[in-house]
Amino acid sequence: MSKFVNPTKVVTGLCTFSYLNCWEPKAIEGGKPKFSVSLVIPKSDTKTVEKINAAIQAAYEEGKGKLKGNGKSVPALSAIRTPLRDGDTDRPDDEVYKGCWFINANSDTAPGIVDAECQPILTRSEMYSGVKGRASVNLYAYNVNGNRGIACGLNNLQKLSDGTPLGGKSRAEDDFATDDDDFLN
């Protein structure tokens, strides 16, 4: 029996998780609270970018009825918003996004979170902006109040390694990993 392949689903290659909200949903600009992450993908990872572009195309084809709405025709894919963005263009002052693509993914429900061995991660401090890993996402068409495009839904996250914490806050594990300062003297 063959396995069903969803053309709008993508499992990324190694990327950096930025603006990570995987434990508590967060409201953006007064909207409904959602779980979210910005997936920062090196431009050298052409395989992931190709998979995302193919999923965007599949979501466009699958969502033509929704994209058409009450209009007479379906807008061209090039005329609607798509989620894959260029870090060099859209975030030129952010070193994390330099030489990278990025895609923002969100969900109403919490993502599944596992480590490199696919064991659940339950400790909140293990997941932070800066972690390196892979993500499972689904692309889909939307048409809300005349805004039409392709969006990215967050399914699951896999942490593969620690990274440099983003946002200026260090991890307690890193701050106290050495005993350089003898606090008992």
Residues 48-100 pLDDT 10s: 999 999 999 999 999 998 998 888 889 999 999 999 999 999 999 999 999 99
Residues 26-41 pLDDT 10s: 998 888 999 999 999 9
Contact criterion met (CB below 8 Å) for 114 and 1: no
Going by pLDDT thresholds of 50, 70 and 90, the confidence category of residue 158 is very high
User: Model's pTM, two decimal places?
Assistant: 0.87
- Would you state the pLDDT for residue 70? 81
Q: Which domains does the chain have, with CATH numbers?
A: 9-175 (2.40.50.140)
